[in-house]
Structure 1
Amino acid sequence: MPIPNDIPVAQRVSDPQKDGQSAQHKTGSTNPVMRSLRAVPWWGYGLAVIAFLTPLITTRLLFVFSELSHNKSVAVSQTAQPQTSQPQASPSPLPDLTASKPQPTVTTPPEPIADSQPSNGASVMFGHFAYEEAPANTLRPISRAGDGYEIKLRDAAAKSYLSMVEAARAEGIDLVAISGFRSKEDQRQLFYDISRERNQTPAQRAQVSAPPGYSEHHTGYAVDVGDGTNPSTNLSPSFDKTVAFQWLEKNAARFSFELSFPPNNSQGVMYEPWHWRFVGDDQSLATFYKRRNSTTSGNPSSFTAPSAR
């Protein structure tokens, strides 16, 4: 007698009436799909799920990585963009922006010594410094020469000189003004005309008279002083033997006058005891002392000993 496993499959499937309800109970279902699903082991379902989800997960990961890469590229581009575009967007350098703009005019007051540079550019000639003429409206008379010529000084110097004369007269000293302000034209005649008459070279003439443009008398601060009781010593080194000179030596500084060319002076100019200059205000002090070092050669012995007249 055959056992159930020996019965042909076709017979077992196609003969439900023999088995009746018991066959149906043994198989549990006549649906082949259900029977197939029941025949799959549990781990098969896991593999199926993994196989189904793998493409989805892979696609999502690729999308995420792509987004991250894109965002990183955008951030790098934004960071680098200002560096590459800055030279084009930056404003032009300041000189280019202001070159076409009118610059404000700054008015600088003229320096008191500015008139010490003559038109020919030289600042020293035969030991004499260069000076410009004092303006006519700054001059006032201090005395009158025998021929009626008015001897003038700048206002401040004139006031101080007249006070000095009065103080000397009170002590029995007669100070006489021999020469004060001289224009360049006056100095030109004094220098060239007399040098031709006496057959003198410029260097020889400069020993007794400064070239035009180089006399302290142009400034209106210098005055040649004589002794009224001893006129023979006028404009002579022997003037230092007179009572007038001795009084000036002791008292001139009280009136802001000083000897321009004492013995062995740094300019190398001949000793002139009669030649005094006013240094009693800012203008006069700057005229004679400002930038003096820059215009002095520093070697007085190299000068031909001239006169500052």
Structure 2
Amino acid sequence: MSVDSEAVRLRSEADEPGWEVDPDDEWGVAVITTVGRQLKLRREAAGLRAGDFGKAVGYSEDMVYKIEAGKRIPRQEFLTAADEVLGAGGLLAAAWEDVKKVRYPKKVRELAKLEGQAVEIGVYECHTIAGLLQTPDHARAVISAAQPPYSPDDVERMVAARLARQSVFERDPAPALSFVLEEGALRRPIGGTMVWRRQLERLLEVGRLHNVVLQVMPMNCDTHSGLDGRIELLKFADGTAVGRSDGAFNGRPIHEPKHLRILELRYGTIRAQALSPRESLAFIEQLLGET
């Protein structure tokens, strides 16, 4: 094998499948440390040095050490390859079931868990398309625009986490979902024309689902109850609820009935001021036709 092909085969850390472990995520650290220890024990039992093992699975020696030390979260393809090389009989590959539960940041996991349990989800988004509605390319463009910029690896992790939350659309029974988006956000061609078109098409697709109500807040509405920022309301089967608003209660999750009533009032007023669902879909179709 030539030097050039070897360099391609052993990809750089930025390209390799793995994410940094958040040291404040105790559960995540415990899971990844355990998987890394099992990997190291099996590698050593097989008589393989880290460098040789890395070549066998297509990753650098440094990456192998980081995963074994519990400092890097392996992706599924790494564990599958490791299982085959070490003859683990599926045990290392099966570790993915635990790893995938902690592969995203703790805050995102907590939000996804709540969304996965909610029977009603209501979201007003003022500056961007709501994360639950974003296409992969749109999400990537939005996240990549942050300053200071995220590393390419962190961008991909955040995109994957955002898309994983969209499994809420596949739930059975389906939750009731409502979204209100600002016209200005729909008109901004984030990611370029083709990415924008695909995003508008995605909105039309989701907006036609039987359990989804999608509305647009027109720019000719001179003032409305969402000017303070984003609002999200989640309601659960046991009658409890949780809400969050960028412009109220310091953006923290709230559970108190009196505070929830305030957010429900604001969200209800926003929905009343927005275009109807039928008018909203027609408006998005018009935007799509103009691209």
Q: TM-score normalised by the shorter chain: which range applies?
A: under 0.3
TM-score normalised by length of structure 1: 0.19
TM-score normalised by length of structure 2: 0.19
